[in-house]
Amino acid sequence: MAADARGLTEEDRATVRIENLVRSFGDRRVLDGLDLSIAPGEFVALLGRSGSGKSTLLRALAGLDHEVAGGGGLAAPDDVSVVFQDARLLPWKRLLGNVVLGLTGPLAEERGRAALAEVGLAGRERAWPVELSGGEQQRVSLARSLVREPRLLLADEPFGALDALTRIRMHALLRRLCERHRPAVLLVTHDVDEAIALADRVLVLDRGRIAADLPVRLPAPRDHAGAEYTALRARLLDRLGVRGTPSTGPEEEAA
C-alpha cells in the first residue's frame, strides 16, 4: 500500500479500522471476523438483512459494547456522535439546551445557535421538543451531533420513522451537512435507494462479514433512472437476496 511523505499508508490514516471483529450472543456469532476501514470524510452506507448485525456493529464502533472481541483490533475515534431512529431529545430542555448539552466554553451557545440555523431551525432555540414534528426533532438531533464536530458520525436508520417526502428533504440536508463538516459517516439503512443517494461506498453485511463493498460512482445529482444507478441497485438487491439469487463469495471493487 502506498505511503505518504510521513510514511503513513491509507490504512494508518483511516478514521475507522476494524480487523477480525467478533461478537456472539450465546451460541450465535453475529459478527464473525469482520474487517472494515473507513477513510476520513468518507460516507459509507451499511445494508444488511434484518438481524444481520448492523446495529451490533454500530454499537461496537460507538464504544457502547464492551464485549466485542477484536483479534486484530478495533480503532475508532473518541469523538463519535450517534444519531438514532428516534431523536432522543430531552423533553425538559429547550432546543438550544438539547443541542449544547455537555458542551462547555464561552462559545457553546453561539455554536448551538449556528447549528440550529444550519438545520433550518433558526429562531426556534427556545421551543420545546414536544412542539416539533418528527422530522424537525431529527434535525435537532443532527444539529446536536454535528455541533461537536465529530470525526465519526454513526447513524442507525435515522430517517426510518419519517414520511417519504420528509426523508428526501433530510437526505439533502444530511448530504449538505456532511460536505460542510466532513465527518466520516457510517449510515445503517434498510433502504437501498437511500444508501445509493447518500453514500460514497455501500457495504452489505451478511453472515457476520462485509459481503459486498461497492463504490458509488455516479455523477451528481444522482439520477434514479440512469443505467449506472439501476445496475448498482440491482447488484445490491442481489447481495441482499431480494431477487432470490443466492450470494456467492465476497464482492469487492477498489474505490
Residues near ligand ATP (CB under 6 A) are 25, 30, 48, 50-56
Q: How far apart are CA 199 and CA 201, in angstroms?
A: 5
Shortest gap between Cβ of 186 and ligand ATP (angstroms)? Answer: 12
Amino acid identity of 107? L
The three cell numbers locating residue 102: 455537555
List residues bridging with 34 in a β-sheet: 21
Shortest gap between Cβ of 170 and ligand ATP (angstroms)? Answer: 19
Whichever of 84 and 181 has its CB closer to ligand ATP, that residue is 84
Shortest gap between Cβ of 34 and ligand ATP (angstroms)? Answer: 12
Amino acid identity of 122? A
Whichever of 146 and 210 has its CB closer to ligand ATP, that residue is 210
CB atoms within 10 A of CB 71: 10
Q: How far apart are CA 102 and CA 51, in angstroms?
A: 33
Q: How far apart are CA 32 and CA 145, in angstroms?
A: 30
Shortest gap between Cβ of 160 and ligand ATP (angstroms)? Answer: 9
Whichever of 51 and 226 has its CB closer to ligand ATP, that residue is 51
The three cell numbers locating residue 218: 455516479
Shortest gap between Cβ of 250 and ligand ATP (angstroms)? Answer: 18
Which H/E stretch holds residue 192?
helix 192-198
Whichever of 52 and 141 has its CB closer to ligand ATP, that residue is 52
Whichever of 57 and 170 has its CB closer to ligand ATP, that residue is 57
